[in-house]
Structure 1
Amino acid sequence: MNTLSAITPLNNDYCEQIIDIILPIQQIEFNVPVTLNDQPDLLDIEKNYHQTGGGFWGAKHDELLVGTIGLIAFDKHAGAIRKMFVRKEYRGKELGLAQLLLDTLIDYCRQNQITDIYLGTVDVLKAAHRFYERNGFIRLPKTELPKSFPVMSADTIFYQLHLTN
């Protein structure tokens, strides 16, 4: 494999490439019953991520987008991780791509006074659960989420990370 480019911010110019990564992973690899219609945020990255005070980042290998992560800022000091996906052939500790994506998002949160990061996921993504837990995320019941947290219909498991200085 050639070298991976740096993690960079993505805008609406990348919507099609973002969808091309995310939908097959959700639908084919993990059989999550979710469609593009269930995820209109993917059609307007700038409105749904950047304009909230969050962001959306990607990792490229040559010109191919191979990983994504997004942050929706939903409160003055809180954000929701969305769309963290890495193409299967680019996963694993060897490349550390998932860690680079998460570290980029956490750095952004620290720079923008976002102290609490939340996320929702599905039961079948066991490796993702382990990854988040290794990174200090604590599992919490849906009832303990902030009222303004943007819950996705497919999500059944929730996590929080409180950032300290």
Structure 2
Amino acid sequence: MERFGVLSMGSRLKRLSDHLFQEVQGIYQEYGIPISGTYFPILRLLQLSGAMSVMDMAEKLKVSHPAVSKQVTKMLKEGLLEKELDPCDQRRSHLKLSADGHQAMAQVEPILQEMKVVLDGVINIPSANFLQALEQVERQLLGNELTEMVIDRLSRVNIIPYKETHQSAFFALNMHWLESYFPDQVIEADYQVLEDPQASIIDKSGFVWMAIREGSERALGTLAMLPDSQANSTALLKLAVAEHAQGKGIAQRLMDQAIAQARQMGVEKMTLETASCLEAAKRLYEKNGFVEMPAPKPSLYERADVYMEKILEKSL
């Protein structure tokens, strides 16, 4: 369909709309939300504006009166809405959320918040060409990832040691980060670590942790740590969190794990390299006690123009 260009735009938008409704319905079912995804515009309108007539709802939502009436009939049968007489005209009735409707909207609110974060990320595409932007949105949303991404943000995350089955996720998360920020600075050393963290880090007395969604095998973040016994220090590397899962404290959880491990090992300091353009990452490191210092030696990576250290207090 995409090859027909602008002539297929209507069909493509309908396909995308139908798919989004199906994905949203799947999320609702996953969390036991007793409403249809198609009810949302009416429920949200009544939640925000209070009781309204079908005609007023149709006008506000810019859809036909029969379309609203059909949905309202279903919601009345399901107990999500209830009628009340218009105080100004007893011959007319208004519709408002029932107690069950209010409860359902309260249940769905956290899902809506996380869905907005995911969709904002998907549609944030720097393109002046609408069809090109539409194609990128389709690639992400039609791949059945919306449901998983929203559930990722709603679920608990466990920090666990790396296993061989995590190799592809470790590679994908870190490579996506590299290609997003430094596409022209990926070097052979990156591939060596990403393709075989067991040999590159773990077999050298290092550690790799994965942030895994509880009840699944979905990896949402990674962090590695490589000790330097001669310097009595340990270096952090390969911190990456899936874009759609950022802002949920996963990076901090990974940092907490690494700092606790370093203290247990009794090393004197932790080190890391980062880039001055990665302001959010630098704030995270500073929050955890890392201080920018002169680099003791040139970095292997052109992108790493900031060196930081954290001195660990000895346990009493």
TM-score by length of 2: 0.47
Pair 1:17-2:161 in alignment: no
Pair 1:126-2:279 in alignment: yes
Q: Is the 8 A contact 1:12 1:44 kept in 2?
A: no
- DSSP-derived class of the 2:261 partner: helix
Moved over 6 A (4+): none
The one-letter code sitting in structure 2 at the alignment partner of 1:67 is: G
Q: Which of the pair is proportionally richer in helix?
A: 2
- Return the match for 2:294 from 127, 141, 145: 141
CA shift, 1:124, in A, is 1.6
CA shift, 1:65, in A, is 0.7
The one-letter code sitting in structure 2 at the alignment partner of 1:31 is: F
Pair 1:154-2:303 in alignment: yes
- Return the match for 2:243 from 85, 88, 91: 88
Taking structure 1 as reference, are residues 158 and 32 closer, same or farther at Cα in structure 2, changes over 3 Å only?
A: farther
Aligned to 1:52: 204
The one-letter code sitting in structure 1 at the alignment partner of 2:278 is: L
Pair 1:73-2:224 in alignment: no
CA shift, 1:98, in A, is 0.8
Aligned to 2:258: 105
CA distance in 2, matches of 1:3, 1:103: 19
Q: Is the 8 A contact 1:69 1:82 kept in 2?
A: yes
Taking structure 1 as reference, are residues 74 and 110 closer, same or farther at Cα in structure 2, changes over 3 Å only?
A: same
Name structure 1 gaps, 5 residues minimum.
none
CA offsets per residue over residues 9-51 of structure 1, 9 Å max, x none? 11343222111111112212x2353336341111221222222
Aligned to 1:34: 185
CA distance in 1, matches of 2:300, 2:269: 16
The one-letter code sitting in structure 1 at the alignment partner of 2:184 is: P
CA shift, 1:66, in A, is 0.6
Of the two, which has the highest radius of gyration?
A: 2
The one-letter code sitting in structure 2 at the alignment partner of 1:24 is: H
TM-score by length of 1: 0.86
CA distance in 1, matches of 2:189, 2:202: 20
Which of 1 and 2 has higher RCO (CA within 8 Å, sep 6+)?
1
Q: Is the 8 A contact 1:57 1:69 kept in 2?
A: yes
CA distance in 1, matches of 2:229, 2:164: 23
CA distance in 1, matches of 2:177, 2:258: 21
Taking structure 1 as reference, are residues 150 and 52 closer, same or farther at Cα in structure 2, changes over 3 Å only?
A: farther
The one-letter code sitting in structure 2 at the alignment partner of 1:55 is: F
Q: Is the 8 A contact 1:33 1:154 kept in 2?
A: no
- DSSP-derived class of the 1:15 partner: helix
Q: Which of the pair is proportionally richer in strand?
A: 1
CA offsets per residue over residues 60-116 of structure 1, 9 Å max, x none? 123211100000112252111000011111111xx2111100000111111112221
State the identity as a percent: 23
CA shift, 1:54, in A, is 1.9
Name structure 2 gaps, 5 residues minimum.
1-150
- DSSP-derived class of the 2:184 partner: coil
- DSSP-derived class of the 2:292 partner: strand
